[in-house]
Each structure stands twice: as C-alpha cells, then as structure tokens.
Amino acid sequence: MPFVVCKVPMEGVQDTASIEAAMKANKFGVDDIVAFVAKTEGNGGVNDMSRILVDRVLRDFLVNKGTRTRAQAMQVPIALSGGCDGVISPHINVFARIPDSAVSAESKNELRLTVGIAVSEPILPEEIGRLPMVEKVAAGVRRAMAEAGITDPADVHFVQTKTPLLTSERILAAKARGKDCVMHDTMESMAVSNATAALGIGVGVGEFPMPRQEQIARDLELYSSVASCSSGVEQDEAQIVVVGNRRGIGGDFRIGHSVMKDSLDFEGIYEAIRNAGLPLPERARASDLGDALVNCFIKCETHPSGRIRGRRIVSINDSDIHHTHHTKAVVGAVAAAAIGDPAVYCSVAALQQGPAGGGMVGAIVNMTRVKAMGKA
C-alpha cells in the first residue's frame, strides 16, 4: 500500500485534534497510521517527561480511536525528540498507509516513498554502547527494509530510531545481574545510545561492516548518512522506522537525503531537498520551495573541537546551559530560515549520524505539488 506523510502542529502535549484533521483531509484512518516522529517541548534530557506523556497520549489515541489493542499499539514506533529550543515549533510527523486506489497509475512507474517498521529485541542496559546493541539494531533495520519492499540499500534515505538510554535504575539492575554498563553518566549515555544505534543502522543498510568496540561513539570518521537516532526512557527496545523510495508503490511523496557539514550549512539542507526530487536554483531560498516540502529531518552536533569554520565557540564550556541546547537552537533556526517554517524536526546528540559537527538531513517532498510548480 502507498503512504502519506503529514506534518501537523502540536498545540499542547495532549493535542491530537490536528492528527484527526489530517486524517480527514488525507482520507486515512487511525488504524492506517504506522509511525509518529515528533518534536516535543520538554527539556530534551533524561528526565524529559514530555516524551513519556506524549507517548502515552499517542498510544491511547491509537487504541481509543481505532481497533488496535494496547499490545498492538505498543508495537507502533513513536520517536519523540524532546526539546524545542529557540524557534523550533512542537509538531508531529504522521506516516500512514492509504488505499492503492487513491494513487495514480503514473506514479507507480516512478520512485515513491515507502515505509517499513520494526521493533528490536529488548536492549539490556549493559548492551548500550556495545556491539550487541549494534547487532540488534542492524537486525531490526533489515526487517524494516524488507517490510518496506526495499532491496537496494541506496534507496534508503532516512532511518529513525528510538532506543533506551541509561538511568540509575537500569544501571543498578545490570549490576544486580553481575553486569557492568559502559558508563554511569546518564545524560551522556543519550549520545552514546544514539551513536550505537547509528552504527547499527549503518551496518543494517550496508554502509560499512560491523565496527570494532573501540569505534563506538569515538571514531567520528565512521558515520551513517541516513541515521537519525533518539533515545529516552520510554521503552527498552529499539523502535525503528525505515523510509526510502521504490517503484510500484505509487503515491505523492518521495524522500531524499544529504548531510550538513556543520551547523551553518544551509546548502546541505537544500541538497537533501533536491535529492528528494524538487529542483532548486544554485542559491536557493525558502520561497523556491513553494508548498512542495513536507518536512526536513535533521540531526546536529557541536564539533568536539569547539570550533566552527575556524572560529572558536564556547558552548562546550558553558556550565549553565548544556551545549546540546545551544546547538539545537542554532540549527533549528538555520533550518527554519532555510525552509521558511519553524516546525522542523531538528534533533541533537548526533554522534556518528553524519560528519562531526554536522549531521544527516532527510527531506520529504510532495511530487504532485512539484509537478504543479512546473519543476518536474
């Protein structure tokens, strides 16, 4: 079945009215929803309770408005990136199936967006930051690719994961089993969990072979260009959403990707949009996008050198505000200016998800609107 992707505002942490409006406008039901990828307004840290609340609200929505059981709703990937620093606006990206009869025969001859989902085996606290977690994520990515009908890894353009991070309770549970964890800093474990998941994605889509243990969260020359990883306390497994293109499925949507080389790299954003199928001039601006762009999905990270384009920055040394907040606010503003919309999915802790100091960029465009603009 083909897919539709909708970006809807979140007017509060319990707001689902915009999802229902999108369902009505795009003619799909609650049971057709396969995944949510959202920005929530909490602090983005270990104790970001907004993610737990929104996760519960969305799963309740799936159960109460549709026919899924609670157990079935728990299998729907919900990747919530906490923290709307600066101008980033809370929003939900809804991925849903639509009837085959709703798409044109012509679109089936072209590359169109497809989605595959998977939930990994439970990831134990002692596996975070280590090779067993890489293996579990990679296995889940392969299952999601198969579900999406993608056989060529080059057709994968965005893989979103949500994985567990370390908490004091999880560390103690591992210790009670006679196991040690890779670290005890729960905040930093977020970045390490993300990096481990990113390497699992890279292995799963064939970007590189299984890494060595010492490369996890350390070898920043090794990265996936399609990985967007988030971690939290919401679950104990990796929830995986693979988004790519294939022929034969049809629909309006297509996805592409690129990377931002640093936090100021406007061109990296526009290159992802071009790759998705929207031609842009050499010096693009937001007005060139028309209404064809659905959204951009961006990972970002402060360069460990504490420099950008040769200039010294001081956010890594800030003892009052964690450097992740600085970076997220900056890249969120750059992206909002590039696409003309502050509702952009911008997530920090991007170790090994794109080049050091930069990050991956995924872009989804509506090809029917591209053609209406006379650009296809």
Q: Which residues are catalytic?
A: 162, 230
Q: Dump the DSSP string for 99-127.
A: -GGGS-TGGGGS-EEEEEEEEEEEPPGGG
- 276's CB contacts (< 8 A; 6+ apart) are 157, 254, 255, 256, 257, 363, 364, 365
Is the backbone of residue 34 left (phi > 0), alpha (psi -120 to 50) or beta? alpha
CA distance 237 to 268: 31
Q: How far apart are the first and last CA of the chain?
A: 24
Please report, for residues 50, 75, 189, 265, the alpha-carbon distance to residue 338 in angstroms, rounded to integers and kept in the order given.
Answer: 28, 35, 31, 10
The strand order across the sheet containing 112-122 reads: 112-122, 237-246, 156-164, 227-232
Which residues share a beta bridge with 346?
A: 298
CA distance 10 to 244: 26
Q: What is the tally of helices (H) and strands (E) in the chain?
A: 9, 14
Question: Which ranges of 4-114 would DSSP assign to H, the alpha helix?
Answer: 17-26, 49-65, 70-73
Q: Dump the DSSP string for 284-332.
A: --GGGGTT-EEEEEEE----TTSEETTEE--GGG-SSS-HHHHHHHHHH
Structure tokens at 238: 């990796």
Check: CB of residue 332 under 8 Å from CB of residue 86: yes
- 285's CB contacts (< 8 A; 6+ apart) are none
Please report, for residues 3, 74, 327, the alpha-carbon distance to residue 118 in angstroms, rounded to integers and kept in the order given.
Answer: 17, 12, 30
